[in-house]
Amino acid sequence: MSTQSAKAIEAAQDPGYQRQVGRRLDETVERIRDQAAFTLDAATAKWVIFSDMHKGVRNAADDFRDCEKAYNAALAWYLRMGYTLVVLGDVEELWKERVGPVLRSYGRTLEIEAKFQRAGRYIRFWGNHDDLWGHPGAVKRLLGPIFGEELQVHEAAFVNVVEGGQPLGRLFLVHGHQGTLDADPERIGWVARAFVRFVWRPLQRIFKFSLNTPAKDFLLRHKHSVAMYRWALSQPRLALIAGHTHQPVFRSRSLEQQVEAELAGAQARLDANPGDAKLTDAVATLEARLEWVRASRQGNTGAAAPVNMDKPCYFNTGCCCFTDGDVTALEIADGAFRLVRWPDDEGIPSRHELASETVRTIFRDLGAVVDEKIAVPAIVS
């Protein structure tokens, strides 16, 4: 076993960190407990969930610049196809940059996003890099002229999922930074938090560097994903959808783990049919894809640590700031969850499906109760 894998296993088994993340998520739930939940009918709804654009000012520190084409193309398609657009935080990079220049730098992208809002199909959350939007006054003053004064930006939200009127289970949508160093006042203290806000962030804007967050560090990203999974596992009939780590996760498996499972299945079929040309090509293609995914982990190569994450209770959108210009998203449409990437394998502005599962199967595997009435008003469908 590599040193990196050994460290990842040790990180994943950190119960203190898991408790810390769990406490912060519990506190988030308490803050939104009286907030009306959304209702999503899996039989008719079309949702697409993006996160972590980190829009900057088109300079060398702008992580979104290379992904602008893919993201705008995706928005155009989803707008025409009648989807509700959900943006799950860190939409603007306000640690490195000031809000005015960021909004001016991506006027066209904001114009397309605002079309969803005007159509009544826009749900927005804030994350740690754009926590300014946690203040309604700032939202009204700065985003109101673009999206309208009725825009609300949420910290988190529950979504009651039904199918043809039959309750299936719940989703919990949140950016996912809860419990990390830069978001945990108990852990770093109010003095340190003031330092982050009023000293560290201005330095970031000048020198274009950032804190060592899960989005940038493989081991911390892995550790945080396991902590999010452990919390979701303890919640009844609930699937957690988050961003923050920039690592796509579907059914609690990273994209790398999904490819590994697919490769294992293809290899078993080849072992049973040695010499089969099509199966040999399929195995070779999956091996190539696996190495591609591993090498895409911002310089962190080698196998991921084995972690028992069997329940499909944790999903992650990935991000819209991959260095190769790709963006990933989660769709909930046509009765299914789908992890997709823009553009496709040929670089054409079209969606490429990476993983899919029916909504009913997800909640069945979560052990969700389906005969219990959920009396919550429908807000978005």
Residues 6+ positions from 166 with CB-CB distance below 8 Å:
370
Residues 135 and 262 in one domain: no
Residues 241 and 271 in one domain: no
What is the pLDDT, as a whole number, of residue 356? Answer: 93
Residues 194 and 102 in one domain: yes
What is the pLDDT, as a whole number, of residue 375? Answer: 32
Q: Which residue in the block uniquely carries the two structure tokens 């709804």? A: 45
Of 290, 307, 324, the residue at which a domain comes to its end is 307
CA distances in angstroms from 115 to 232, 272, 298, 349, listed in the order given: 33, 53, 34, 20
Range of the domain at 219: 10-252+309-365
Task: Report whether 85 contacts 113 (CB < 8 A).
Answer: yes
pLDDT in tens, the chain (381 residues): 455 555 555 656 788 889 999 999 999 999 999 999 999 999 999 999 999 999 999 998 898 999 999 999 999 999 999 999 999 999 999 988 899 999 999 999 999 999 999 999 999 999 999 999 999 999 999 999 999 999 999 999 999 999 988 999 999 999 999 887 666 555 554 554 556 557 766 776 676 655 546 555 667 777 888 999 999 999 988 999 999 999 899 987 777 777 787 788 889 999 999 989 999 998 998 898 788 777 765 444 444 444 457 789 999 999 999 988 999 999 999 999 999 999 987 888 999 998 999 999 999 999 864 444 333 333 333
- Kindly state whether residue 376 falls inside one of the protein's structural domains: no
Residues 206 and 346 in one domain: yes
Residues 282 and 349 in one domain: no
Task: Report whether 63 contacts 23 (CB < 8 A).
Answer: no
What is the pLDDT, as a whole number, of residue 265? Answer: 87
- Kindly state whether residue 234 falls inside one of the protein's structural domains: yes
What is the pLDDT, as a whole number, of residue 370? Answer: 44
Count the neighbouring beta carbons within 10 Å of the beta carbon of residue 213: 22
- Kindly state whether residue 373 falls inside one of the protein's structural domains: no
Residues 120 and 245 in one domain: yes
Please tell me the distance from the alpha carbon of residue 376 to that of residue 241, in angstroms, as a whole number. 20
Please tell me the distance from the alpha carbon of residue 68 to that of residue 6, in angstroms, as a whole number. 37
- Kindly state whether residue 154 falls inside one of the protein's structural domains: yes
The structure's pTM equals 0.82
- Kindly state whether residue 377 falls inside one of the protein's structural domains: no
Residues 6+ positions from 31 with CB-CB distance below 8 Å:
155, 156
What is the pLDDT, as a whole number, of residue 372? Answer: 41
Number of compact structural domains in the chain: 2
Kind and range of the H or E element at 336?
A: strand 336-342
Residues 281 and 166 in one domain: no
Residues 177 and 321 in one domain: yes
- Kindly state whether residue 183 falls inside one of the protein's structural domains: yes
Of 280, 307, 334, the residue at which a domain comes to its end is 307
Residues 271 and 192 in one domain: no
For the record, the structure tokens of 275 come out as 């010499």
Residues 198 and 300 in one domain: no
Residues 173 and 51 in one domain: yes
What is the pLDDT, as a whole number, of residue 346? Answer: 83
Task: Report whether 304 contacts 19 (CB < 8 A).
Answer: no
What is the pLDDT, as a whole number, of residue 224? Answer: 87
Helix (H, G, I), strand (E, B) or coil at 184: coil
293, 245, 234, 289: which is closest to 266 by C-alpha?
Answer: 289
Q: Return the CATH number at 222.
A: 3.60.21.10
